[in-house]
Amino acid sequence: MKKVLLLILSMFLYSCLTSSQGGKSFDQTRFTVISEPEYPIPEACKYLFSQEGLPRIGVVNFTNHSEGKVNIPEAWGWWKNAEVKLPEVVADHVISEIVNLGGTRVYTRNEVERVLEEHKFQMSGIVDDTSYVKIGKLVGLQYLVTGSIDNIGFTTGAMALVMGSRPQIEIQIMIRIIDIATAEIILSKSITGKDILDTADYVGVISGIKNALTKGLEDIRPMLSKRFALSGYIIQTMKGPDGSIAALINIGEKQKISTGSKIEIYALQDIKDPVTGKSICDKIKLPVDAEVTDQIQDNKSWIIIKGEPDKISRVHKGCVVERQQVVGQSFTKKLGL
């Protein structure tokens, strides 16, 4: 048992170290502004700087397909009442996850339902994607998030050798994102969240459900952060005494950027398609390392850029920046810890 415990503790510590964001301190007084020429934005790339706003995305209640298999005797008395609220609980957690990622304008369930009531659209009759597309068009959405609760169960977890016989909750959810304009399902993912309970009473199980949801939903971060990338551009550049570059970008706290976030930087060029003859925008990812510092304002933040001198020299005002794809659950969270 001691070997098992040591193995688990080692994996836990490794996970903590690898998931730590850290974050760079930035002293602007040590940097000098770089005098650089104006770099015109290629005509084909100007759409990247559009101020039309963030993608509009709505979330509706999830369908409950779970039978709620409860193997904890203490839970039988009240579980059915709690199960009725699961679709709302899941939808609210999905909303929180999407909002915290940034990159979208999220419409809550209440906002969606209010518009539907104004148009006398009955939510109770929704059973297919066609109906969801109608909802999206009525509300003025570009994307709609829906899905199902496929399973929720309470068992003695696989960690029983280490944690004793404490029960574990596991919830499985299918999440889909529908493009309202095309009625196409652009993203579909099944996720699983686990949590080891302290107690099997009402408060303990409800808390466990929420914890399991929070952990499981971290696995939608990679696909959401890639599909709805948090993006902006460089406003100003400065040079440090060690040759590193600091850049001010137009993404800040309101856009959900945070200290330690990894940033990708792109140079732009206009390319003519040899077949159509039309100009297209080409984004060239620069091979540099960039990270958000502790200097974050509402709509701006400073990043530190490091790399080989010839690579850093390609960074300039007007370069497009995007937050790197966010990672999902850590190993320990997948175990329910």
- pLDDT one-digit tens code per residue, 135-162: 889 889 999 999 999 988 777 655 444 5
Give yes or no: residues 243 and 315 share one domain. Answer: yes
SS3 243: coil
Domain endpoint, select from 227, 242, 264 = 227
Give yes or no: residues 214 and 251 share one domain. Answer: no
Question: Bigger pLDDT: 6 or 227?
Answer: 227
CATH of the domain at 98: 3.40.50.10610
Q: Is-contact 296 26, C-beta < 8 A?
A: no
Range from 21-30, 237-246, 272-281 carrying the lowest mean pLDDT = 21-30
Give yes or no: residues 77 and 218 share one domain. Answer: yes
Nearest Cα residue to 265 out of 210, 303, 227: 303
Asked, for residue 257, whether it belongs to a domain, the answer is yes
Asked, for residue 9, whether it belongs to a domain, the answer is no
Domain that holds residue 259: 24-50+230-323
Asked, for residue 303, whether it belongs to a domain, the answer is yes
Give yes or no: residues 37 and 138 share one domain. Answer: no
Asked, for residue 4, whether it belongs to a domain, the answer is no
Cα–Cα dist 129/125, whole Å: 12
Domain endpoint, select from 193, 227, 261 = 227
- Label residue 84 by pLDDT band (50, 70, 90): low
Give yes or no: residues 197 and 113 share one domain. Answer: yes
Segment 109-123 mean pLDDT: 77
Give yes or no: residues 222 and 236 share one domain. Answer: no
Q: Is-contact 170 192, C-beta < 8 A?
A: yes
Give yes or no: residues 195 and 306 share one domain. Answer: no
Q: What is the pLDDT of residues 291-324, one digit of tens each?
A: 999 999 999 999 999 999 999 999 999 999 999 9
Residues in contact with 197: Cβ distance below 8 Å, sequence separation at least 6, in sequence order: 154, 166, 167, 168, 169, 204, 205, 207, 208
* Domains contained in the chain, number: 2
- Label residue 79 by pLDDT band (50, 70, 90): low
Give yes or no: residues 39 and 173 share one domain. Answer: no
Give yes or no: residues 146 and 219 share one domain. Answer: yes
Asked, for residue 46, whether it belongs to a domain, the answer is yes
Q: What is the phi/psi pair of residue 106, to 5°?
A: -95, 130
Q: What is the pLDDT of residues 3-35, one digit of tens each?
A: 444 444 455 444 444 444 445 788 989 999 998
Give yes or no: residues 199 and 97 share one domain. Answer: yes
Mean pLDDT of the chain: 83
Q: For the chain, what's the residue count? A: 337
Asked, for residue 111, whether it belongs to a domain, the answer is yes
The model carries a pTM of 0.80
Give yes or no: residues 199 and 313 share one domain. Answer: no
Give yes or no: residues 70 and 181 share one domain. Answer: yes
